Structure 1
Amino acid sequence: MNRVDIIGAATTFGQPRLGVDLGPDALRYANLINEIEKLNIEVNDKGNIYSDIKVNVAEHSQGDANTLKNYDQVMDFNEKLAKSVDESIQQGSFPLIIGGDHSLAIGSLAGISSHYENLGVIWYDAHGDLNNSDTSPSGNIHGMPLAISCGVGDEKLVNLYKDGPKVKPENIVLIGMRDLDEGEKEYISENDILTFTMTDIKEKGISAVMRESLEHLQDKTDGIHLSLDVDALDPMETPGTGTPVDGGLSLSETLSAMTQLHDSNKITSMDLVEVNPLLDDKNKTAQKAVSIASAFFGKKQK
């Protein structure tokens, strides 16, 4: 990749913890652009995308579990994001979408999928994000983007930007799983989605997991999107995130995984999500996220 477009996804609408919309700027303040440019990659910062539909703090994420919370804002934001991502790929750039909560993947995958007949997805996360309006215990849309992208859930969200599913379940690999809801477990089992829990990672080692993931996808996909949630890492590493789960990946494991993905030359786009500076300690999580991005783009580990 010779040119990276940074697209700031300044959304907090997919979940209840305020501040994650500040994540893109926290990453910039942690020298994201300079660190990528050091690797002889041209960086074009496209700035931040915001929803035009405002919601005041008191009304944010209100409603019961049967309500898709901040629905209009999620729809509006992801339409804009999909268009920006689509345009970056048309112009020959690698889109790096920085967030922002994980509901942004609805838009990123919608924009990317127009360019690939069989898009693969590596979902590096503590959570499967495979809930829908029937199975979600909360109504928070950041727990649904992968299901929506597979064609499951609210019709308008499924058909956002372009009609129909954006990815096939058999073209997905889940890595880092340790907090799955019952409906998600059923969907994973019914669709035979390749899944690596933290137990699997500890038993196999991260190198074997990444190798198996790439082998699983290489012959049946024509592009692979990496969607990385910083809560895939243990909260000791990345405290500044909204839904931390103990027992996660270490930074060193994640840097190794990113180096493998870089060396494979198979990844065609990337989300880097759920950095919340209001929950962080001196921007530590953003700094770790920048080191993860740097490894992905080719920085050699000492």
Structure 2
Amino acid sequence: MADDLHSIALPTGVTLDVQVAGNPSHPPVILLHGFPESHRTWRHIVPDLAQDHFVLAPDQRGYAKSSKPQGIAEYTPEKIVADLLALADHFGLARFTLVGHDWGGAVAWMAALKHPDRIGRLVIVNAPHPLVFQRSLYDDPAQRAASQYITAFRNPGFEAHVDKIGLSAFFDSSFAPHIAPDRIADEKPVYLDQWAQPGALTGMLNWYRASAIVVPAVDTAPDRPAFLDAPFPPTQMPVLAIWGLGDTALLPCQLDQLADHVPDLTIERVDAGHFVPWQNPAAVLAALRRNLSES
């Protein structure tokens, strides 16, 4: 399928490539990818969804051929949420269903918490709730150990490491094995082209560097911040969490306290690892269809 990409300049100062599919008169859905991907995350989702929804799937700032502003401060979550809302405004979408995977899910959580008037329904695919995740990094040794890659990605020398081994080796060692090489092999040239865009690798990694999430080292016993037990606002819309139980980076413990902060919650546990839209797109679509039919 040839993606119908539109280059859209936003008042937030960035220009995003956006896949646009479906009839604008149909209910709108915005799909947000995570690291280290692009709108191609949703390759197996968009054609089906676009039959009866108006679908937008942007390459977010820092990724592929979208704008890559310089400086870590340009990648704070609130700036990326502002891109999302500006994109919705561009298409005249007052309210929409928001679907996010990985970092796209982190942005989706923040958008839903900060702008509940805009998000009619939230769908999260293997992306932890911000408080539950931060709490688990202090309280759950397994999750803390599994999250040490975040510290590695924040290292200012990480780009030099990737440059040394080459983008192809980075794809083969850090991305493809988590999906299953046979499912992603034909995508390799697409991703290598996207990652090779000037500033792309730094732009992608800056999402980690700009995040306020604290990842304690495995061998430390840091004081537990009081805010982890302070009141936290609940979500105000129906939330569907689609979770690949084989995720080795974001463990199933992320689901344990979710209902405490999400009053209207549906959890669909899926046979997949972290990259669920690639590994089990049929299950993602089935869960979306069950959920969106209730709209």
Q: Does the TM-score normalized on the shorter chain lie above 0.5? A: no
Task: Name the TM-score, length of structure 2 as normaliser.
Answer: 0.40
TM-score, structure 1 normalization: 0.39
